[in-house]
Amino acid sequence: MGLTKTYPDGTSPTVAVIGAGLSGLCAAIQLQRQLQLTTYTVYELEAEIGGTWYSNSYPGCQSDAPSHIYSYSFAPNYDFTKKFIKQSEMLAYLRSTAKTFNIYDKIRFKTRIVSMQWHETRRKWILHWAKDELGEEGQDEVDVVIHGAGVLRLPNIPKEYEAFEGEMWHSARWNHTVDISGKRVGVVGMSASGAQIIPAIADQVQSLEVYGRTPYYITPQRNRTYTRIWTLLFRYLPFFYAFYRAFTYYYVDSTFLLYNKLAWHSVFHRAVVYFVTWWHRFRHLPNDPRLRQQLTPQYEIASRRIILSDTFFPTFKKSNVRLHSEPIVSVEGKKIKTRDGVERELDVLVLATGFDWVSNFPPGYLTGRNGIDISTNWGESPTTYYGTTVPLAPNFFLIWGPNSGVAHHALTSMVELQVSYAIRAISYMMKNDLESMEIKQSAAEDFLKLLDRRIERTVFTTTVMPKFLNSMGQCRGFWFGSCTEFWLRTRDLPPELYDVVKREEGRKGQVAASGRMDKKAGDKHYEHLNGDSTVASDEEESVEA
């Protein structure tokens, strides 16, 4: 059955897409492709599209998933140069795709969403935005919000490093105006970003001090270069490309078995990866048992992200590279001291310390039905339905929201599945002439019970990942299975799980509300009704995003 593209009266809902990164672009393109909907606006904080791929431009930055499944399934790129592409090539792909689908004209750049409030009687979202550079701010009114701002956008900068008096920056905010050649550089962190930065800058600097208390499991990357023959086969033999992409997709998807605790169906997979990571480490560091021990993880495999790299281990054999496994105890001036008493003076300090996930939904940012602050209502346990819809937030869709995170696959795969769900929901609204639809609390709670039951079988509940565990020991954030299972569970939109309001009922509510409002001729500003919700005056024109 095809998708319904308009309401019965021929109109379309107004949609706000938050973010112009991988998720936001996918949502905008699919609104056009599948629904022929043009009444949408994309709000982007930065001056360009790309999201994470725009912000992260550090040396060595590249994809950690095969390029042909990191790209959109509906916008294949046959000309990727390597299996794992650099940041610049990924950003170029996103820009080219946005131009192909004419998305640029729908984006409002350098626009920060301050807050979003659901207006109960108007059945619409009131978006408060600001253009900080210009000192402008305002409000827009939309029917639907698709939140695709992502979680890898706010750098986590521990306060203890603020005392450093040399040049310092986070990996996601690389300062390209500073030349690090011949300087004494320190890198804090050896996770995904740090593992790419360290080999990339080792030959440029005078000395490189690596501060990493927890080593990671690392497997060979084997970054194949696609020759002219490969690109011709991809471009002119559709069956070949479809088979190659499908094979890559399901091969990568099978690695979710790594994240299951020892069980009959995952023992072999985990044993193979244990051996590969051991051999990869031993092969590069055969004559240095002390360094090899420092770089050997002491936790269960897959309890943290598994990193792909061919250059990480060889970097530590360079004479100007030193690894510090002891915790940092003080940062004074330009000096960093570790617990073993070693003190080093640095010119530049790079923080590869990850991202602040919690601050993506600060208090007051998202206010749902009945004036409920969603993040405050969540507390320690974000309540979502498959990380895509949220109780008390009608017409609101999350992309890569809490409880849908994947650690084993390309992010694009999950993004496309969630966008597809949102598209079907918007189509269902138009087909049934609905003004709003909201996932029931009971449906979300049933999903969380399933999540808790299934995620107990995974390594995500180990003490290695405490930041994802609440006080009751429940893990919130990750999806428990494969992307294929996520598709099977979300391919249908069950209408009985949603509370809905017909447009006619909504219009009656608006008429009743308007009789209680103080009217001021020519007033174009939103006012607060009863102190807890924001409404538009009768003369305010509806905003067509």
Question: Of 79, 80, 82, 77, nearest to 100 (Cα)?
Answer: 77
pLDDT score of 469: 52
pLDDT score of 517: 38
CB-CB contact of 16 with 145 (8 Å):
yes
As given in the structure block, the two tokens for residue 243 are 């088979």
φ, ψ at 280 (rounded to 5°): -60, -40
- SS3 breakdown of the chain: % helix, strand, coil, rounded to 5? 35, 20, 45
Q: Where are the beta strands (DSSP E) in 309-382?
A: 321-324, 328-332, 335-338, 343-345, 348-351, 366-367
DSSP string for residues in 512-527: HHHTTSPP-TT--S-E
Strand 207-211 vs strand 348-351: parallel, antiparallel, or unpaired? unpaired
As given in the structure block, the two tokens for residue 478 are 């990750």
Please tell me whether residue 146 adopts helix, strand or coil conformation: strand
As given in the structure block, the two tokens for residue 127 are 């978006």
Strand 328-332 vs strand 335-338: parallel, antiparallel, or unpaired? antiparallel
First CA to last CA distance, the chain:
28
Question: Of 7, 26, 127, 38, nearest to 422 (Cα)?
Answer: 26
With residue 127 as reference, give the H or E element that holds it. Answer: strand 124-131
- Distant-in-sequence, close-in-space partners of 216: CB < 8 Å, separation ≥ 6: 190, 191, 195, 297, 304, 305, 306, 307
pLDDT score of 541: 27
φ, ψ at 18 (rounded to 5°): -95, 115
pLDDT score of 528: 34
Rounded distance between C-alpha atoms, residue 81 and residue 95, angstroms: 17
In angstroms, the Cα distances linking 236 to 74, 75, 76, 78, 245 are: 17, 15, 13, 9, 15
Rounded distance between C-alpha atoms, residue 535 and residue 127, angstroms: 12
pTM above 0.85, yes or no: yes
Rounded distance between C-alpha atoms, residue 353 and residue 69, angstroms: 27
pLDDT score of 509: 52
Please give the average pLDDT of every successive group of 10 residues along the chain, which has 545 residues: 91 97 97 97 97 95 96 97 97 98 97 97 96 95 95 86 96 96 97 96 98 94 96 96 97 90 78 94 95 93 90 97 96 96 97 83 93 91 93 96 89 96 98 97 95 86 54 68 95 96 70 42 34 31 26
DSSP string for residues in 2-37: PPP-S-TTS----EEEE-SSHHHHHHHHHHHHHH--
As given in the structure block, the two tokens for residue 98 are 């946005």
> Scanning the structure block, which residue is given the tokens 């007033």?
523
